[in-house]
Structure formats: structure tokens, C-alpha cells
């Protein structure tokens, strides 16, 4: 069933364009994907590392202004990722892609948990020089591990898939 929808997506104008119909589109998507990842991981990573005690002189509340940039990075990566998939769905029928999507799904669930439990409000109230609760530190470790997992398995796609 997955392959049916994958082939249908590949048969769209987006699949045609990314697969080579527009020669510069794949490299453009790759560049945008990199910038999106830098925005997302850079912003999330800074907040997570601050929660772990690095840069303790910074208050956490104002760091929340980075979140829209992280969301922009995620949006860029979602659009370009769908484009990559549409261009060559066969390359993504691998364990690496399944692991990447699993890490991405868990990172999303973790984010929902972080905000729904009120931990985000507790963290936002932490001032300069203060420490976050242990639950926030564990949350930061989980977040970093999951996003590093997304990046690792995304990079492994070229080795596990039919990219060569």
C-alpha cells in the first residue's frame, strides 16, 4: 500500500520535477534542506544545551524567541523532504528511512509532551544562573538524542538506499 501511494506521488509534477525534469531542483532542495536542518537543530540544540547547564548565564525565557526559527527550519525540511521522496521513492524504502521517521515521530511526541505537561512553562521561568528541574534535563537529553537520530538516519539514507 505504501508503494502504491509512493508511485502516485512520484507520478505528480513534483515527482517529475525533482527526479530530473528540472535539473537544478534537487540541488536546490538539498541546499534548502541543509539550511532548514541548521535552523531547526541549531535553535532546538541551543535551548536543550542551555537546559543541560551550558551557557547558564542566559535566561531561558528569551530563548523561546528562537522557536519560530526552528519551526521555519522544520517547515523547510518537511517541504524538501516530501520533494526528495516524490523524486525517488524507491530510495526511501529502507531501514534507514524507517528509523529516521521513527526518530522524527518520537521527537514530535516528545515536543507535545514537553508543552502539554507544563514543563515548558517551568523552563521558561528559569532565569540567568538558575538550573532547570531534572525532568527538563532529561527532556533535553531525549530531545538531543532524537534530533541527532533524525540527522544520523537521514545521512544514512544514501548508504542504505539506491542512491549510487
> Tell me: the pLDDT tens digits for 49-93?
999 999 999 999 899 999 999 999 999 999 999 999 999 888 889
Q: What is the mean pLDDT of the chain?
A: 92
* Three-state SS at 126: coil
Q: 98-118: per-residue pLDDT in tens?
A: 999 999 999 999 999 999 999
Joined together, the cell numbers standing for residue 77 give 525540511
Q: Domain-by-domain residue ranges, the chain? A: 2-160
User: pTM of this prediction?
Assistant: 0.89
Amino acid at each position: 500500500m505504501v508503494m502504491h501511494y509512493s508511485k502516485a506521488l512520484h507520478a505528480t509534477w513534483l515527482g517529475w520535477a525533482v527526479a530530473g525534469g528540472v535539473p537544478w531542483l534537487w540541488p536546490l532542495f538539498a541546499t534548502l534542506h541543509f539550511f532548514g536542518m541548521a535552523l531547526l537543530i541549531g535553535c532546538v540544540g541551543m535551548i536543550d544545551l542551555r537546559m543541560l547547564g551550558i551557557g547558564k548565564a542566559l535566561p531561558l525565557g528569551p530563548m523561546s524567541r528562537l522557536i519560530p526559527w526552528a519551526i521555519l527550519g522544520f517547515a523547510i525540511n518537511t517541504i524538501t523532504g516530501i520533494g526528495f521522496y516524490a523524486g525517488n521513492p524507491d530510495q526511501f524504502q529502507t531501514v534507514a528511512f524507517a528509523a529516521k521517521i521513527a526518530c522524527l515521530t518520537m521527537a514530535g511526541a516528545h515536543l507535545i509532551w514537553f508543552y502539554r505537561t507544563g514543563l515548558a512553562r517551568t523552563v521558561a521561568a528559569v532565569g540567568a544562573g538558575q538550573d532547570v528541574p531534572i525532568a527538563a534535563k532529561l527532556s533535553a537529553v531525549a530531545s538531543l538524542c532524537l534530533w541527532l537520530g533524525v540527522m544520523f538516519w537521514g545521512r544514512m539514507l544514501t548508504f542504505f538506499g539506491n542512491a549510487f
